[in-house]
Amino acid sequence: MSSLFQPYTLRSLTIPNRAWMAPMCQYSAEVFGPNAGVAGDWHLTHYAARAAGGTGLILVEATAVSPEGRISPADLGIWNDTQVAAFRRITRFLKSQNTVPGVQLAHAGRKASTDRPWKGGAPLGADEHGWQPLGPSPVPFDDGHPVPDELTREGIAEIVGQFADAARRALDAGFEIAEVHGAHGYLIGEFLSPHSNRRTDEYGGSFDNRVRFALEVVDAVRAVWPEELPLFFRISATDWLEEHGWTVDDTVRLAALLKEHGVDLLDVSSGGNAARVRIPAGPGYQVPFAARVRAETGLPVAAVGLITEAEQAEKILSNGEADAVLLGRELLRNPSWARHAARTLGAEVHVPQQYHRSV
């Protein structure tokens, strides 16, 4: 039987297969006013298509825990009840298609307040609906980026509380998995890496200090997230820097701690915290990072990164390198990837009754 189309159970939640959708920002929410950060028709259509295509779990894109936590003014948010109501349309439809709805809770940190990628992604000023970014240290992401305001201890505690509040709202919105975004150079990842964290207090310096904020967020979310539902954490396994960066060894060490703090699965990506680094991307190039975490800590992992073919995904799982695969760009190209993969592997997947004539 196909490993890719075996159900997977975490806590009391069973996901129907192991072909999952990675969180990918759409930069398509309302920008300002009472509907800022609210999911609209684009989001419903976008996620509904992948659910109808047989995807077992959909992790909704980075969803900001506060207005200042958005990457761009067009990001989704989950800091108010209007946003919650809009998400209910999406989670309700995903569940009707036998797809588990999950959401990635995020704060962009020093990489906040930028334009949409297709408009260049440059930092935005106040006259363009931008704002002053926050970070662990006054170190800009890149040349031309603003120096972030260094977070105080009180500011750190406030953001920890925002993550907890966002998790409560996510549950109310109908999500069944919450993922804490600790990857790609956003706020939690900025605290993790000595490349971006130059603090000299209890949140900087040693490994234990640099992971403190991440663990505080996880503890706060786990405290309000139901015991029977899974909690994920997304990590950049490496900064791809030769020195003074976050490393794969650090990731394995943190994974063991996350497991102790109630994280059920590590979503293993890489990069994003250092500008202009060279990443040797190729088919499945991040899978070894996930495999090492799984082998050395026993924490379940999902692999991501240029996984495009059904046979490739099947091999990753059957070799024990990961417990699930997360597809990104391939699901943008082909919303029904899971259905096509099931046909290739001789497996079965949910097909909407309206589409049965295509089977």
CA distance 129 to 114: 10
What is the residue-averaged pLDDT of the chain? Answer: 97
Domains and CATH numbers, the chain: 8-358 (3.20.20.70)
Structure tokens at 41: 């028709």
pLDDT of 32 above 90: no
Q: Which pTM does this prediction carry?
A: 0.97
Give pLDDT tens digits for 257-286. Answer: 999 999 999 999 999 999 999 999 999 999
CA distance 44 to 47: 6
| Amino acid, single-letter form, for residue 44 | L
Catalytic residues: 186
Average pLDDT over residues 239-257: 97
| Amino acid, single-letter form, for residue 198 | R
Q: 């505690």: which residue's tokens?
A: 157
